[in-house]
Amino acid sequence: MKVRFWGTRGSIPTPGPSTVRYGGNTACIEVRDSSGSLLILDAGTGLRELGAALVKNGTGPRPFSVDLLLSHLHWDHIQGIPFFRPAYDPKTSLRIRGPKQARTMRELLGLGMDDPFFPVDLDELPAQLEVVEMDDGSDERIGKFRVRAASIFHPSPALAYRVEADGRSLVYATDTEDPFSGRANPVIPLAREADTLIHDAQYVESDFKPTWGHSTIASAIDVATKAKVKRLVLYHHDPDRSDEALDQIAKEAQKQTDEIAKGIEVVVAREGLELEI
């Protein structure tokens, strides 16, 4: 599999001189298998950039066939949907999956695009749109990918995903406070011996905010070592975290990980980063 990061920031987009290198767009990751099949993880503002690249470069087969997995429905993970250019092509097939909500997910996604908040209603998007809800423990074949889901500890219903293709495994666990929840952490068995774990790392120890639904960098490292993954990607950076601060985190996180368990590569996610899994 190949992975490209289009948005790595948490909570709110943070454009500006202090975030140029790691990026200011919110959560969005492009995943490809060896055949070029497309799976997108989350629909933050980075989705706009991804959509524009797809249209401009003609990446992948036309018409577009897109599977989009949402971790949850907080703004920073869905704001890119109205600006996803392939959604305005009637030949596009767009299948959105995410955690089951108290109201239907399609209804909730539509609220943010209803008048007067946006000029195009969700149901008026030209693409062939399907919205599907997933449960804790779901295990599905999505295109060429096998996807397993686990419910995680967050202020709104949220899922982590294990994605497998071509004999490789990727786990996406953003917006999880499970290391501090007092219960067994579902991310650890989900990520067991995964090739790459993308894990929420919004906080350092000094600015951790209980009940806000996020992890510290130290706790992400702890999860990675307990799950025995090969690579840990620190993700969902705090909006106040500058490029210089993330540079320092990259150095310290690898050193801290090496002291606990040798052999785990630690990467700090940045926009434009491409990884092979």
Share of the chain above pLDDT 70, in %: 99
pLDDT band at 59 (very low <50, low <70, confident <90, very high): low
The predicted pLDDT at position 56 comes to 87
pLDDT band at 60 (very low <50, low <70, confident <90, very high): low
CATH of the domain at 108: 3.60.15.10
Of the candidate ranges 53-57, 164-168, 191-195, 237-241, the one whose mean pLDDT is the lowest: 53-57
The predicted pLDDT at position 61 comes to 59
Share of the chain above pLDDT 90, in %: 95
Q: How far apart are the first and last CA of the chain?
A: 5
Q: Read off the pLDDT of each residue in 70-94 and give the average, rounded to a whole number.
A: 96
pLDDT in tens, 24-48: 999 999 999 999 999 999 999 999 9
pLDDT band at 262 (very low <50, low <70, confident <90, very high): confident
The predicted pLDDT at position 135 comes to 96
Indicate the number of domains in the chain: 1
Q: Please state, in angstroms and rounded to a whole number, the distance separating the CA atoms of residues 48 and 5.
A: 12
The predicted pLDDT at position 269 comes to 98
pLDDT in tens, 194-219: 999 999 999 999 999 999 999 999 99
Q: Which domain holds residue 146?
A: 2-276
